[in-house]
Amino acid sequence: MNKKIKDALKEMEGYSIKEFLLEHNIRVYSTLQLENGEDGFLCNDKIIVRKHLPRNYRKFVVLHEIGHYIMHSNDSLAFSYTQLGHRNKLEVEANMFACLKLLENDILEEVNVVSSLLNKGVPEQIAFKFIEWYITQKES
């Protein structure tokens, strides 16, 4: 598994999302509109999410942004999440982190991973990308 993702999961181990946000003084704000179809945005210690997202999808978006916070904050960049932003390496890492965190209580060999991810709010395209990524990680 990618070392950045592995280290990020370890850093968040034992924390709920809420606990992690509180511990790191990260505030989550909601807004009616973000630019370019974005659903979430990380800037320093602020996560901004589009209002009225389905609850589970919002959780995925926040985890995705936490992934950026842990893995990429040294890059001094702002990150935004759109369902189309899955091609960039940093976005893929944040997606895989969020998926693994959502699946942390599942035994992956015993569940339909795609169905589980879909039920947890992960967009279909990302759920299928996760499976491809996970299989290649197991094989290497």
Look at the block and give the residue holding tokens 């704000």.
29
Closest CA to 103 of 90, 95, 113, 93: 113
Is it the case that residue 22 has pLDDT exceeding 80? yes
Return the biggest CA–CA distance within the chain.
Answer: 43
What are the φ and ψ backbone dihedral angles of 42, each rounded to 5 degrees?
-115, 130
pLDDT tens for residues 65-120? 999 999 987 655 555 555 544 568 888 999 999 999 999 988 888 889 999 999 99
Closest CA to 50 of 26, 28, 32: 32
The dihedral through the CA atoms of 33, 35, 40, 45 has a sign that is: negative
